[in-house]
Structure 1
């Protein structure tokens, strides 16, 4: 089988010389990196939340492709009073109790969409909220969707991230492992020494749990600051 890297390099070289590329140019993230496997998500939510930092979220679309590297995630377990699944299975949370690796999308306060990745065993009801990411590709499309030019704010927050990627209720239940229009790829995993943990944002119960994980010092984190180590933080959440 031909190496897709070679094709992408040839396309880039031809484009740089002003020579039309042969056929459609595929996003390098999609060509070179397949989706993370389901086994990646078949683990406890807290473990997956830490391990999602540095992974690349990629969406392909006729209007253009976008990609961003995750820098902030929050874990929500089924035994967690702050989790939607805490009171059991409902029509709204059905996806949370489904297979791991699927997207759970909900409308927050009737204003903005939030996307989560289902984790653990099927039927467990745990998930990880994708809170913030560092833009890598398609920033012009992100700016158009967000209506702003400040790159640091394009994906800094769960609602902003969904808006920048054009994610809404129609993506609820989407399988991120299927190499479809939306996927998470390996990216560049973050070492423990660069991960900070602290209380989650915007909740009124279980606030003591340090299940918000960020890439320490990254300017694209949504809000507040957390210090490396379990549950230690600086500044407001």
Structure 2
């Protein structure tokens, strides 16, 4: 992945205790590789629109790697693409990079070299898609969440574990950015209130043959820690 030379106009930012944003963490080659992989997985396992238990429909389309996911649980009966080893290595590198800026992401004794996410959710944001404030609390582990952004930029809203209201912080995520949250911020409410349509790097459309929208991939450990 990209080296530690982050864009000068977008330095790393600590979003909360145990949460960090690393702009431009993925270089173009890494982004292209991941974008092609996401397109291949989506072709193999068509993304779906998620219907929440209350009847609401998420505006993003989603699919899983490693373990199937439905609100609000993981489902081993669903056949999904496996989590590739190269993506596991990338997640470990991401966690180590985040810990170099914000050591609190490793609260609880997490070792980046032994970080073993077993699932990833891939969310595809089309025109007008958003994501309401929510907690990632379906997992049986408190290991950090690693989030990778591709395509269109967005406003990422990061709050506290206590409730959906203020205080929260809005940051712009662009293609290649990394966010990691763990430790005291592992259950922080977060969401995407706005996507800036048409802001993806021009080469993204060349890779896919069409504008990508926003693509977000989050890696989590869902099973109990060993």
Higher RCO by CA contacts (8 Å cutoff, separation 6 or greater): 2
Q: TM-score range by the shorter chain?
A: under 0.3
Instruction: Compute the TM-score of the two structures, normalised by the length of structure 2.
Output: 0.24
> When you count strand as a share of all residues, which structure comes out higher?
2
